[in-house]
Amino acid sequence: AIEKAKSYKEKIRTALEMAQKITKEDVEICRRIGGHGLKLIEEIAKKKQGKPVHILTHCNAGWLACVEWGTATSSIYQAFDQRIQLHVWVDETRPRSQGASLTAWEMAERKIPHTVITDGTSGHLMQRSLVDIVIVGTDRTTRSGDVANKIGTYMVALAAKENKVPFYAAVPSSSIDWEIEDGIHQIPIEERNSDEVAYVQGLADGEIKRVRVIPKESKAANYAFDVTPRHLITGLITERGISLASPEGLLQLFPEKRASQ
C-alpha cells in the first residue's frame, strides 16, 4: 500500500493507518490471551479459597513490550481487575534486569502485590509451594511448541517440571514460526555485549551509575535467549485459546496451517 502511494503525504497517511490498524490488533490479541489465561488463575483461586494466587513471571512481557495488556501479564491484570487475590514473583532477569526495572514498575503502577527475586530463586520458592503457576512470554515459538524466550526461562521451566508447577507461555500467533520445528537447533541465539554482564547499572544519589562487578581478568558470556522444549511446557496461551505444546495442539487452534505442514 505504501509503495503505491504517489506523494510523501499519502505515504505518511498510509503508514499511519497501517500502524493504527496493527496497534488495535495487538491490543485485542493481548486482551484475548489474557482472557484465556484468566481462566487458569480463576481455577487456582477457587482451590485456594481466598488465599493469594502466587504467579511467577520472567523478563518483561507486559504492556511496555506491547501496546496494552501485554502477553504474559494480561491474565494477571484481568485477574486483578476481577478482585482475585494475587501476588507476583518477578524474576529480575539479568543482565538487563527487565523484570526488576520494567515488570516490577508495571506491577507497582497497578498496585499489584509483587516481589522482585534473583533469577536463581524460583526453584527454591517452588520447593516450598510458594508458586502456583508460571506464565512467561515468548519471542519465537516453533510449530512443535518449543518456546524461545529471555535467557533463564529454560531454568525456570526445569524447576517447574520438577516441582509439578504448571508452566505456561503466552503466545500471540504472530510469534509462531510455522517453518521450523526444532527450537534448540533451528533458532539462532543472540550473544550480546559481555559488558552487560561485567557491569551493573542503576540509580544512585539521583544519578545513573555503572559499576564493574567482575575482575578485569575475567571474561563474561552474555546469551540473550534460551529455548524451552515443549515437554516442559504445560500449555500455550494464544488469542484463540490454550493448546498443548505440540504440533497437533497448535494445529487444532490454527487449522488453516495444516495445508502448509
Annotated domain spans of the chain: 8-187+224-260, 190-220
One-letter amino acid for residue 53 of the chain: V
The residue ranges of DSSP E strands in 64-150, in sequence order, are 86-91, 114-117, 133-136, 140-142, 147-150
Q: What is the mean pLDDT of residues 73-84?
A: 98
Q: Please list the residues that pair with 228 across neighbouring strands.
A: 147
Residues 140, 146: Cα–Cα separation, whole Å: 8
pLDDT digits (tens, 9 = 90+) for 148-164: 999 999 999 999 999 99
The residue ranges of DSSP E strands in 33-113, in sequence order, are 53-57, 86-91
The candidate with the shortest Cα–Cα distance to 197, out of 210, 184, 178, is 210
Q: Which residues neighbour 154 within 8 Å (Cβ) at sequence distance 6 or greater?
A: 226, 227, 228, 232
Q: What is the CATH number of domain 8-187+224-260?
A: 3.40.50.10470
Write down the pLDDT at residue 58: 98
Positions annotated as catalytic residues are 139
How far are the Cα atoms of 51, 126, 170, 245, 254 from residue 159, in angstroms, in the given order? Answer: 23, 7, 19, 18, 30
pTM listed for this prediction: 0.94
